[in-house]
Amino acid sequence: MRMCPSMWLQLATGLALLGAVSLQTLQSFPKLCDIRNFDDFLRQTGKVYSDEERVYRESIFAAKMSLITLTNKNADTGIASFSLSVNPLADMTRKEIGTLLGSKVSESGEKYTDGHINFVTGPRSPTAANLPEKFDWREKGGVTPPGFQGVGCGACWSFATTGALEGHIFRRTGVLPSLSQQNLVDCADDYGNMGCDGGFQEYGFEYIRDHGVTLASKYPYTQSEMQCRQNETAGRPPRESIVKIRDYATITPGDEEKMKEVIATLGPLACSMNADTISFEQYGGGIYEDDACNQDEVNHSVTVVGYGSENGRDYWIIKNSYSQNWGEGGFMRLIRNAGGFCGIASECSYPIL
């Protein structure tokens, strides 16, 4: 039996009793391997339950394992284009996992974006025929490693915002910074964001245009909203650790060809999608194409860092914020040119430097 390295077992769990029910907080996202039953799962995650709650959690785990087994069998026979894997979310409820889904528009935020004049690509914009068939900013060195937003903190919007900006800075300068999501979580509330309770990438860009964002090394991520410390962490004038943008642009909803153009010529996109499916949370690899994600509104923010094709199937390369131990090293390949699958083409934007 293949053993998992001990470093993968760094899962901090809290146990708070409400009657007979314990609540857990995932502070890290360990990689699991060779999970055959619930005992294996508990051993590798470090989760601890009372006898009563264990029965409840094991029933959730069993249902998800059945879906994982069926999907992977279909993947092996070519019926499904993607596979699933067991990860630390496998015994959690839809409500608990829903705290990860923080793409939310707000009335106060829309007051800012309503007056925004969209950037229009100039006449020298490349035609579709001149764009490369595949493009991946990871191969260029323009993508930082996926982080983990933390269950209970719907800060995906801040990861999408910083992820797109990091890539555009790299394209312009050749230097890849790691920008602070915590800066946005703590400080961008006046722009319509709600910290760990959700936000929107366009509101994040609005804040960065006016105030800038600092480096992650100066303002590290904590998985919770705290008092704004941007001035303390920015350093002394001229505050070289602060990054600002000139403006930001949005993609016309549904225009996947324009998405492709921006990614291939300018940099990654911050986009919304629907991630409220079990197959998304337990995604293991392959080209994701579960029609269940087309049945609800978008609710999660991601960074689109590239595109490609495999066996005649086009896909987007999605950077998620569930750590490097989710999906394909923290990334997902999502079916492309399929009507904006999972809503991926409905809300996309990018910074203008």
DSSP 179: B
Residue-level pLDDT at 5? 41
pLDDT for residue 344 is more than 90 = yes
Q: Which residues are catalytic?
A: 156, 300, 320
Put simply, whether the predicted model's pTM sits higher than 0.75 gets the answer yes
pLDDT for residue 314 is more than 60 = yes
User: Coil, strand, or helix at residue 132?
Assistant: coil
Residue-level pLDDT at 237? 60
Residue-level pLDDT at 129? 65
Token pair, residue 127, equals 């035609």
The set of residues, in sequence order, having a beta carbon less than 8 Å from that of 238 and lying 6+ positions away, is none
pLDDT for residue 4 is more than 60 = no
What percent of the chain has pLDDT above 70? 88
The set of residues, in sequence order, having a beta carbon less than 8 Å from that of 237 and lying 6+ positions away, is none
The set of residues, in sequence order, having a beta carbon less than 8 Å from that of 89 and lying 6+ positions away, is 26, 97, 151, 281, 282
CA distance 94 to 115: 36
Residue-level pLDDT at 235? 67
CA distance 277 to 5: 29
Residue 280 main-chain phi, psi, to 5 deg: -70, -50
Residue-level pLDDT at 11? 33
pLDDT mean across residues, the chain: 90
Most confident of 107-121, 227-241, 274-288: 274-288
**Using an 8 Å Cβ cutoff, are 215 and 178 in contact?**
yes
CA distance 52 to 111: 48
Measure the CA angle with vertex 216, ends 117 and 303; round to 5°: 50
Q: How confident is the model at residue 8 (pLDDT cuts 50, 70, 90)?
A: very low
Token pair, residue 186, equals 């703590």
CA distance 255 to 237: 42
User: Coil, strand, or helix at residue 303?
Assistant: strand
Residue type, 108: S
Residue 121 main-chain phi, psi, to 5 deg: -65, 140
Residue-level pLDDT at 320? 98
Per-residue model confidence as pLDDT tens digits over 192-236: 999 999 999 999 999 999 999 999 999 999 999 999 999 888 766
CA 169 to chain centre: 19
Task: Give per-residue burial for 22-40: e unless 16+ CB within 10 Å, then b.
Answer: bebbbbbbbbbeebeebeb
Residue-level pLDDT at 176? 98
Per-residue model confidence as pLDDT tens digits over 326-340: 999 999 999 999 999
CA distance 226 to 228: 6
CA distance 35 to 255: 41
Q: Where are the alpha helices (DSSP H) in 174-327?
A: 181-187, 201-211, 230-233, 256-265, 278-281
CA distance 190 to 109: 8
Walk me through the domains of the chain, giving residue ranges and CATH numbers. Answer: 29-89 (no CATH), 93-352 (3.90.70.10)
CA distance 345 to 340: 5
Residue-level pLDDT at 216? 97
Residue 262 main-chain phi, psi, to 5 deg: -65, -45
Q: How confident is the model at residue 241 (pLDDT cuts 50, 70, 90)?
A: confident
Q: How confident is the model at residue 303 (pLDDT cuts 50, 70, 90)?
A: very high
Per-residue model confidence as pLDDT tens digits over 37-89: 999 999 999 999 999 999 999 999 999 999 999 999 999 999 999 999 999 99
Cα dihedral angle (199, 200, 201, 206), rounded to 10 degrees?
Answer: -90
Of 33, 17, 16, residue with least CA distance to 25: 16
